[in-house]
Amino acid sequence: MISILVVDDHSVSQRILSHTLKKSGYDTVVAGSGLEALDCLNQQNFSLMICDINMPEMDGITLLRQLRDDTQYADLPIVMLTASSQDDDRKAAIAAGADAFLTKPTSSGDLLRLVGELLG
């Protein structure tokens, strides 16, 4: 089964994303911060990560940079999904190595289409 790591500090977003992905046959694990995501990544292999930008302890951009600097995660597809619609956040995410950037709220259809594309 394909496993997706969902990294978001808002429980409602976690539940919506997890439910949407599970309905489409994906296994999901949820992390509430960048540090928690690193712990999850060290314990399990994931096919894709969906990550918020604004989080406590370690924000999504910092996590993204750290993962892209690690050869083990350099090819992990990463989608940044955030409530921030500022162009600077999009540019920072893409520069840090995000494969895609979506703004909340996004439709489940758009999210699942993108996940399918990235997983090939």
What fold, for 7-16+23-74+92-119?
Rossmann fold (3.40.50)
Which residues lie below 8 Å from residue 52, measured CB to CB, with a gap of 6+? Answer: 7, 8, 9, 10, 13, 60, 80, 81, 82, 83
**Cα–Cα distance between 56 and 112 in angstroms, integer?**
27
Question: pLDDT digit of tens for each residue in the chain (120 aa)?
Answer: 899 999 999 999 999 999 999 999 999 999 999 999 999 999 999 999 999 999 988 999 999 999 999 999 999 999 999 887 678 888 999 999 999 999 988 999 999 999 999 998
Q: Where are the domains of the chain?
A: 7-16+23-74+92-119
Beta strand segments in the chain, E: 3-7, 27-31, 48-51, 78-82, 100-103
**Cα–Cα distance between 120 and 18 in angstroms, integer?**
20
